[in-house]
Amino acid sequence: MRIMIVDDDPLVQESLKIILEKDGDIEVSRLCSSGKEAVAAYGEVKPDVVLSDIRMEEMDGLAATTEILKMDPSAKVILLTTFLDDEYINRALKVGAKGYILKQDCASLATAVRAVNGGQTVFGGKIVERLPDLLNRSESFSWEEFDITPKEREVVELVAEGLSNKEIAQKMFLGEGTVRNMISSVLGKLDLRDRTQLACFYYQRIKI
Cβ contact 42:72 at 8 Å: yes
Q: Is 151 found in the same domain as 114?
A: no
Q: Is 104 found in the same domain as 22?
A: yes
Least confident of 16-20, 43-47, 195-199: 195-199
Q: Which of 202, 25, 35 is nearest to 128 (CA)?
A: 202
Q: Is 104 found in the same domain as 66?
A: yes
Least confident of 97-106, 120-129, 130-139, 147-156: 130-139
Choosing from 77, 99, 131, the residue where a domain stops is: 131
- How does residue 131 score in pLDDT terms, banded at 50, 70 and 90? low
Residue 33, domain member (yes or no): yes
Q: Is 98 found in the same domain as 121?
A: yes
Cα torsion angle, 143, 148, 153, 159, sign: negative
Whole-number Å distance between alpha carbons of 84 and 125: 11
Choosing from 131, 153, 170, the residue where a domain stops is: 131
Whole-number Å distance between alpha carbons of 23 and 166: 24
Q: Is 46 found in the same domain as 6?
A: yes
Give the predicted TM-score (pTM) of the model: 0.63
Residue 102, domain member (yes or no): yes
Count other C-beta atoms under 10 Å from residue 104's C-beta: 11
Q: Is 123 found in the same domain as 31?
A: yes
Number of domains in the chain: 2
Residue 136, domain member (yes or no): no
Q: Is 200 found in the same domain as 179?
A: yes
Residue 13, domain member (yes or no): yes
Q: Is 58 found in the same domain as 154?
A: no
Higher pLDDT, 128 or 20: 20
The 10s digit of each residue's pLDDT in 72-113 is 999 999 998 776 666 777 777 778 888 888 877 777 889 889
**Residue 23: is its pLDDT beyond 60?**
yes
Q: Is 149 found in the same domain as 64?
A: no
Residue 149, domain member (yes or no): yes
Q: Is 183 found in the same domain as 85?
A: no
Q: Is 168 found in the same domain as 77?
A: no
Whole-number Å distance between alpha carbons of 97 and 76: 7
Structure confidence at residue 207 (pLDDT): 60
- How does residue 138 score in pLDDT terms, banded at 50, 70 and 90? very low
Q: Is 153 found in the same domain as 125?
A: no
Q: What is the CATH number of the domain that holds 105?
A: 3.40.50.2300
Give first-to-last CA distance, the chain, whole Å. Answer: 37
Q: What is the CATH number of the domain that holds 168?
A: 1.10.10.10
Structure confidence at residue 103 (pLDDT): 79
Whole-number Å distance between alpha carbons of 66 and 101: 18
Structure confidence at residue 208 (pLDDT): 47
Segments forming the whole domain that contains residue 165: 144-206
The rounded Cα 176 to chain-centroid distance in angstroms is 20
Residue 202, domain member (yes or no): yes
Residue 139, domain member (yes or no): no
- How does residue 167 score in pLDDT terms, banded at 50, 70 and 90? very high
